[in-house]
Amino acid sequence: MENNISLTLKVWRQNGPKDKGRFETYKLDKVSTDSSFLEMMDILNEQLVNEGKEPVAFDHDCREGICGMCSLYINGRPHGPDDDVTTCQLHMRKFKDGETITIEPWRSAGFPVIKDLIVNRNAFDTIIAAGGYTSVSTGGVPDANAIPIPKVDADEAMDAASCIGCGACVATCKNGSAMLFVSAKVSHLALLPQGKVEAARRAKNMVAKMDELGFGNCTNTGACEVECPKGVSISNIARLNREFLKAKLAD
């Protein structure tokens, strides 16, 4: 049932990459529990604009959990207190009347803050550019049904491919590792005959790029899997390690 709740928000404000940043506290009344978390942020911003203040900058776009744009560390958890959702799918019914909510940006060496709650995730694109594709150009490819693919493999590839590139895995990892992200792409493509051809080379190049960009090492804490809004499994990391080892042995 719909209710209205009052909230205290502690929000990270930072003018730019070089600003030190600080928490600011805001009060919000009469927030409908049917609102999404980002609609609550809209209400806050409307209030700030009406007071002549600068609204809080935060990333968001599709607001249906698929574009991977929204981020936010909410009460110490990436994407907040609900499971298997992105911040845009989180609803205020998960919070209590009178609650204080702490809102921070992703905090990781790989993702520097741009402004307030917005971080720079270009590193993910750079890692994909290092090898996260099949090297085929447009045209001249075989018929789509030329190579049958076992349904289990196709389904497993789909599960790995459901990564939305939001960065929650990196943000939650105490080492700031991007292994879940990288392994999801390596798995997705290695599981399919079209991607298998370059699997070893891909694993090697993507891991090298990840290391170069300053992401930490994986120590198997499993935090990434818990916070992944799409339920991408850490078994992908095992597959990445296999592909990586094969590549190294072949060297």
How far is the C-alpha of 242 from the C-alpha of 247, rounded, in Å?
9
Among 7, 11, 85, 113, binds another protein (CB under 8 A): 85
Q: Is 72 helix (H, G, I), strand (E, B) or coil?
A: coil
Q: Return the number of the residue (137 or 249) whose C-beta is nearest another protein.
A: 137
How far is the C-alpha of 107 from the C-alpha of 145, rounded, in Å?
45
Q: Return the number of the residue (103 or 157) whose C-beta is nearest another protein.
A: 157
Closest approach, Cβ 222 to another protein, in A, equals: 22
Q: Return the number of the residue (140 or 174) whose C-beta is nearest another protein.
A: 140
| Dihedral, 189, 193, 194, 200 alpha carbons, nearest 10 | 50
Among 63, 77, 201, 242, binds another protein (CB under 8 A): 63
Residue 141 CB-density burial (10 A; 0-12 exposed, 13-18 middle, 19+ buried): exposed
**Footprint of another protein on residues 25-54 (CB under 8 A)?**
32, 34-36, 38-39, 42-43, 46, 48-50, 52-54
Residue window 222-251: x/- pattern of binding to another protein, with contact defined by CB under 8 A: ------------------------------
DSSP 191: T
- φ, ψ at 116 (rounded to 5°): 45, -105
Largest distance between two CA atoms of the chain: 64
Q: Would you give the distance in Å from CA 244 to the centre of its chain? A: 23
Closest approach, Cβ 221 to another protein, in A, equals: 26
Query: Binding of another protein at residue 15 (CB under 8 A)?
Result: yes
Closest approach, Cβ 219 to another protein, in A, equals: 27
Q: How many CA atoms lie within 13 A of 61 on its CB side?
A: 7
Q: Return the number of the residue (27 or 217) whose C-beta is nearest another protein.
A: 27
Q: Is the dihedral of CA 152, 185, 207, 217 positive or negative?
A: negative
The angle subtended at Cα 165 by Cα 161 and Cα 167, nearest 5°, is 135
Q: Return the number of the residue (114 or 247) whose C-beta is nearest another protein.
A: 114
End-to-end Cα, the chain, rounded Å: 61
Q: Return the number of the residue (32 or 175) whose C-beta is nearest another protein.
A: 32
Residue window 128-167: x/- pattern of binding to another protein, with contact defined by CB under 8 A: xxx-xxxxxxxx-xxxxx--xxxx--xx-xx--xx-xx--
Query: Binding of another protein at residue 60 (CB under 8 A)?
Result: yes
Closest approach, Cβ 76 to another protein, in A, equals: 21
Closest approach, Cβ 6 to another protein, in A, equals: 15
Residues in the chain: 251
